[in-house]
Structure 1
C-alpha cells in the first residue's frame, strides 16, 4: 500500500513538473510583421499565409501585403504579394487565395503569386473575414457595414445586411450555416456598450440567430472550429483566446495582449496560429 502511495505521489510530482496538460504550449514566435491581421495554414503545401495591414484598418495606401511562412514559423517570403491597401481575412479554394481588402475581394493565384482579379464591393466599408462554402461560394464580412457579401459565379454582391449581425467579424461555414463572430454593436471609436457573441446565419434563407445562449463574450475576431462541440475565438480588444461551446459558454484559454486577431488552426496537430496586430508578431500554440 505504501509503495502504491509513493508511486502515486511520484507520478503526481512528475506531472506537476510538466505543467497542466490542458495549458496550451507555445511552439514558436515570428516577428517583423506590420499589423498582421489574419493567418491561414495550408498543410498540403506546408505554407502559412499572413495578411499585413501595414497601417490603419481603413487606410487606402497600397502598403498592405501578404507574407508566407513555413509551418514551423520561418518566414519564406516576407512580401510575397504587395500593393494591397488594408488586407485582412484570408480563404483558400481552387488554387486561389481570397483576401478581404477594404472594399475589394482580391483573388490571388497561389502558384504564381499574381493577382488574378479584384472583385469590387461598391459601398462596403471595411471587408474583414473570408469563408468558403461547399459549393465554392466565397463569403466576406463587412465589419462596420453590418453586412455579408458573397462571390458566386464571378458576381460579388451584398448578400445580407442587418443590424442583427452586430458588426460581423469572423466567419466560418459549417454545413448549411454561416457562423459569425460578432464584435458587438460598435460606436464610432470601435468600442461597444455590449460585447459580441457567436451568431448563426442560415445559408438557405438568411435567418440570423444566436448560437447558444447569446451571452455577451467580447469583441470577437478570429473564428475556427476547435472540436465537435466548440470553437476557438479571439477577442481583439481584450487579447484573449476563448473556447466557445455550441451552447454559447466561453472559457478563456490564453491571454496574449490587445490585437489578437484572425487566427488559423491546424486540427491534425491542434495548433493555433495567432497574429498579434499591435505587437507585429505571429505566434503558434499547441492545445
Structure 2
C-alpha cells in the first residue's frame, strides 16, 4: 500500500467511526431540602463542604441565616452548624477561620468551635457577595451594589478596588498575580433590558481593571473558580447553568441548571464541582470532564 493509499484508508476509517464526542458531565450526587443555599466552599483539610443558607430575603437583617456542613459524598453532616446570621452568601477560609459575606459585614467564625469570633463592618456596603482569600491572610469581598472590592487585613477592612468597570462584581478568584472577577452585569430595570456580565481582571496591586477576553456578554455571573490553562468555571444566576469560560471570552454550558445557580466550589484533585441551586434548595456535585 502506498503512503497515499494509507492516508486515504485512515481518513475513510475515521469517517466510518463518526465524529469524536467530548466527555459528558457526570452528576455524582444531589442534596435537596437546603434553605436557599447560596455558597458552597470545599475544605480539603477538614473533608467538609461549608454551605451558606440565606433562609429568607437576600437583603434582610433577620437573623435567620445559617451555615451547614455537608460531606464530599453528599450527606448533610450538620444542618445549622452556625446560626444567627442574616443572609450569608460568599464564604472563604483563612488561618482556621471561616468568613461569610453577610449583607454589610464580614462574619468571622472559628472553624474548630463553630463560634462567631468577630463581625467586621464594611462601611458603605450594600450587597456583599463573594469572598476569596490569599496565602498572606488577606480576605477579599465583593460588593455587587457599589462596584467595590474590599479587603480585610490585620483586623481592618478597607476598600481595595472601586471601579465601575467591575460591572457589579460577584465571583472572585485569584490567579497568579491577578484577581479575576465574574461580573453580574446590569439587571433589568423599568424600560431597560438586562445587560449580561462577563469576566474582568485586576492586578493584585488593585490599581486598574481590564476586560478578560473580548467583553462579549456571557450571563449574570455568580460563582467563579479557576480551572487552569486559561479556563474557568462559573455559574449564571438569572438564566441558570454551569459554564466553562475561556480566557478569550468564549464559553460553553456544561449543565443547564435552573435560575438561582449560585456560588460554586471546586475540588481539583477529583475534578468535582459543588454547585448550589439557591431557588431549588439543592446542592449538586458534578465531575468535570
Q: Deviations over 1:213-268 (max 9, x none)?
A: 11110000000112322000000111111111111111111111111000010111
How far off is 1:280 after superposition? 0.4
- The aligned counterpart of 2:282 is 281
Alignment of 1:1-287 (within 5 A): 22-187=23-188, 193-287=194-288
- CA distance in 2 between counterparts of 1:205 and 1:50 reads 29
Conservation of the 8 A alpha-carbon contact between 1:185 and 1:196 = yes
- The aligned counterpart of 2:4 is none
Conservation of the 8 A alpha-carbon contact between 2:200 and 2:212 = yes
Segments of 5+ residues of structure 2 without an aligned counterpart are 1-12
- The aligned counterpart of 1:4 is none
- CA distance in 2 between counterparts of 1:219 and 1:81 reads 29
Larger radius of gyration: 2
Conservation of the 8 A alpha-carbon contact between 2:160 and 2:206 = no
- Judging changes above 3 Å, is the alpha-carbon distance between structure 1 residues 39 and 247 closer, same or farther for their aligned structure 2 residues? same
Q: Deviations over 1:77-119 (max 9, x none)?
A: 0000000000000011111101100000011111000111010
- CA distance in 2 between counterparts of 1:231 and 1:94 reads 26
Q: Secondary structure at the match of 1:83?
A: strand
- CA distance in 2 between counterparts of 1:262 and 1:192 reads 24
How far off is 1:159 after superposition? 1.9
- CA distance in 1 between counterparts of 2:193 and 2:258 reads 18
- CA distance in 2 between counterparts of 1:43 and 1:21 reads 28
Conservation of the 8 A alpha-carbon contact between 1:150 and 1:158 = yes
- The aligned counterpart of 1:5 is none
Q: TM-score when scaled to structure 1?
A: 0.91
- CA distance in 1 between counterparts of 2:128 and 2:189 reads 17
Q: Secondary structure at the match of 1:108?
A: strand
- Judging changes above 3 Å, is the alpha-carbon distance between structure 1 residues 206 and 90 closer, same or farther for their aligned structure 2 residues? same
Conservation of the 8 A alpha-carbon contact between 1:167 and 1:186 = no
- CA distance in 2 between counterparts of 1:152 and 1:91 reads 14
Q: Deviations over 1:26-82 (max 9, x none)?
A: 111111111100001112211000000111110110000000011101001000000
- CA distance in 1 between counterparts of 2:90 and 2:97 reads 14
Segments of 5+ residues of structure 1 without an aligned counterpart are 1-7
Q: Deviations over 1:146-200 (max 9, x none)?
A: 11111011101222222111100000111211100001134558x8632100000
User: Which one is further off, 217-226 or 178-187?
Assistant: 178-187
Count of matched residue pairs = 276
How far off is 1:205 after superposition? 4.2
Conservation of the 8 A alpha-carbon contact between 1:91 and 1:99 = yes
Q: Secondary structure at the match of 1:87?
A: coil
